[in-house]
Structure 1
Amino acid sequence: MPKSKLVPYLYLAPCLFLMALFVYYPIVENFRFAFYEFSAFSPEKVFVGFENFLNLFKDEVFYIALKNNIWYAVISIIFQVFGGLILAAILEDPITRLVSGIFRTVFFLPVVISISVIALLFNFIYNPDVGILNGLLKLVGLDEHTKAWLGDSETAIFAIIAVSQWQSIGYIMMLFVVSIQNIPRELYEAAEMDGAGRIRKFINITVPQVREMFFVATLITLTGAFTVFNEPYILTGGGPGNASEVLGTLLYNSAFFRDEMGYASAIATIILILTLVVSIIQMKVFKTGEDG
């Protein structure tokens, strides 16, 4: 190979080496560990084949966790992606552009706040005795709807999901803001000359022009929904019972509380497969990178 053609590969080599060492090698090792039964405190590993996966698919908690992750994904798409796009379009409208900087800061601020601080904040909001949410419901005469939001098995996962939407919508909104700012103004001016209103311009110009960013935002949101851990672990630890368990907390509890490292590796492998399948489906649906 001529020297001139070899140079680009030399520049890429450090990056490829680091990715292989810290990304692909751990993935391969985790997949291998899923076929063994072993403890974190013992060097001995017993090969069990597909037993960890079979036990996982027989575990009722796994299906509860998977259902909760699916709820996470569906609600996040509605509120973060669609909601973020609508917020971005409103903030980039000529009428609101003068004050949009203030609102962008307000919406983006939760993104940079520590999850520990957010957990303390929402523990206070959801407190059944002195919480703001129950206090507001009592104030408007809806006392029968007050409850222990994080302590009720029917509402715990949805209360946690609400926290994630509040924290993350600002980030997705900013992605759409950048994308909308790159849309040629001539398209909107031509639409105005044709008598198009704001809703028509949003549907016929904004939405098609941000298709690539819509794919990126959806990919980020769905991947985050299937790998979420911090919010459920800090707010409820997967409780009450297993009502707010997600795959991330199930993996953590299996590995570090029950010391079932092979079983935890099987859960991690399932999470990887789910995120890969979702990503491939999205690429096929959005046909990202293709012209037209």
Structure 2
Amino acid sequence: MKNYRSSRTALLYILPALLIVVCMVFLPIVLNLYNSFFRWNSFGTEKVFVGFEYYIRLFKDPVFYTALKNNGLYAIISLIFQVGLGIIIAAILEDKLIRKFQPFFRTVFFIPSVISIAVVGLLWQLLYNPEVGLVNGTLEAIGLSEWTHSWLGDSKTAIYAVVAVSQWQYTGYITMLFLIAMQKIPDEFYEAAMIDGASRIKSFFHITLPQIKEMILVGSVITVIGAFKVFDEVYVMTSGGPGRSTEVLGTMLYRSAFRNDEMGYASTIGTVIFVITLTLSLIQMKIGKTGKEV
């Protein structure tokens, strides 16, 4: 009887948070899936059932595969820089010789992640300007004039230019997560390794990486989900152009919903984004064989 009362009391405490999660997360997902089977618009009340018509249309649309490729590119490059480079930077900042300067570098690396994405997009749009931008200006100043380019105006380079901005903005944030995880590793582990004659590189691979594997998983999941949810920087810098070469699933959804007023089609794209991010997250957790901190 006592255990029953304890369980009921615990449930009462959990219930408010559970209701919020259900109403703000699970219910919108179900409603979005439901709406994807209907033709409707934001200014009317009539809904026409179309079944899987929008899904068939989406998978036949070549722009969808361009967007999917760009999101995949985002994810791969982000894993390399935000996760891979982030681990290396965090390890360097945790080195005893650099540790006393750590507060300064933490601030420098973290500042970009708290700047408004719209501001960052406009800033880098100016930096990439082929006439007055700092990027081409720097290349000319160091004698690499042949490398100057219309970075956002060329369909071959535009997506890479936009992806580079995301790495500049978010690598510092992921680095801070790894730094926090590394600071939890007992110093005794490294002292024992030093006594055994292990180099810093060996200590990194045999002590640091295994001890922060939970945070590596968390950082990877955050990065991949962010790569498939990306919208703001692409919309601000290129709006999916030139020639829809930088289209991502987020801008494709926005275009369908708020420019073409095809809310059912937009719901379909939203459902696909959810399925992709959920699947990739589960795969990452399965590969990591962990997930206690996720």
TM range (shorter): over 0.9
Question: Is the CA contact 2:122–2:236 (under 8 Å) kept in the aligned structure 1?
Answer: no
Pick the aligned partner of 1:38 from 30, 37, 40: 40
**Cα deviations by residue, 1:49-83 (Å, 9 ceiling, x for unpaired):** 00000000011110000000000000000000011
Mapping of 1:63-142 within 5 angstroms? 63-142=65-144
Aligned position for 1:158: 160
Aligned partner of 1:85: which letter? I
Seq. identity, %: 56
Aligned position for 1:167: 169
TM-score, length-scaled by structure 2: 0.97
Distance across 2 between alignment mates of 1:100 and 1:199:
20
> Aligned Cα RMSD in Å?
1.0
Aligned position for 1:243: 245
Q: Which segment is superposed worse, 136-145 or 60-69?
A: 136-145
Distance across 1 between alignment mates of 2:258 and 2:52:
21
Instruction: Give the secondary-structure state (helix, strand or coil) at the position aligned to 2:191.
Output: helix
Mapping of 1:13-24 within 5 angstroms? 13-24=15-26
Aligned partner of 1:55: which letter? R
Distance across 1 between alignment mates of 2:146 and 2:230:
32
Distance across 2 between alignment mates of 1:70 and 1:289:
23
Distance across 2 between alignment mates of 1:116 and 1:248:
15
Instruction: Give the secondary-structure state (helix, strand or coil) at the position aligned to 1:77.
Output: helix
Give ranges in structure 2 of 5+ residues lacking alignment: none
Distance apart, 1:195 and its partner CA = 1.3
Aligned partner of 1:158: which letter? Y
Aligned position for 1:224: 226
Aligned partner of 2:88: which letter? I
Distance across 2 between alignment mates of 1:50 and 1:168:
37
Distance across 2 between alignment mates of 1:215 and 1:258:
38
Distance apart, 1:140 and its partner CA = 2.3
**Cα deviations by residue, 1:92-145 (Å, 9 ceiling, x for unpaired):** 010100111101110001011111221222112101001111111112222222
Distance across 2 between alignment mates of 1:257 and 1:141:
44
Distance apart, 1:289 and its partner CA = 4.3
Pick the aligned partner of 1:260 from 259, 262, 268: 262
Instruction: Give the secondary-structure state (helix, strand or coil) at the position aligned to 1:39.
Output: coil
Instruction: Give the secondary-structure state (helix, strand or coil) at the position aligned to 2:99.
Output: coil
Are the structure 2 counterparts of residues 233 and 289 from structure 1 closer, same or farther at C-alpha, using a change threshold of 3 Å?
closer
Pick the aligned partner of 1:178 from 180, 194, 204: 180
Distance across 2 between alignment mates of 1:247 and 1:145:
31
- Pairing 1:145–2:177 present: no
Aligned partner of 2:192: which letter? A
Pick the aligned partner of 2:189 from 187, 190, 201: 187
Pick the aligned partner of 1:288 from 275, 278, 290: 290
Question: Is the CA contact 2:35–2:267 (under 8 Å) kept in the aligned structure 1?
Answer: yes
Distance across 1 between alignment mates of 2:155 and 2:38:
34
Aligned partner of 1:87: which letter? I
Distance across 1 between alignment mates of 2:121 and 2:227:
18
Distance across 2 between alignment mates of 1:135 and 1:181:
41
TM-score, length-scaled by structure 1: 0.97
Distance across 2 between alignment mates of 1:279 and 1:268:
17
How many residue pairs match? The answer is 290
Distance across 1 between alignment mates of 2:253 and 2:152:
21
Moved over 6 A (4+): none
Aligned partner of 2:204: which letter? F
Distance across 2 between alignment mates of 1:231 and 1:122:
10
Aligned position for 1:278: 280
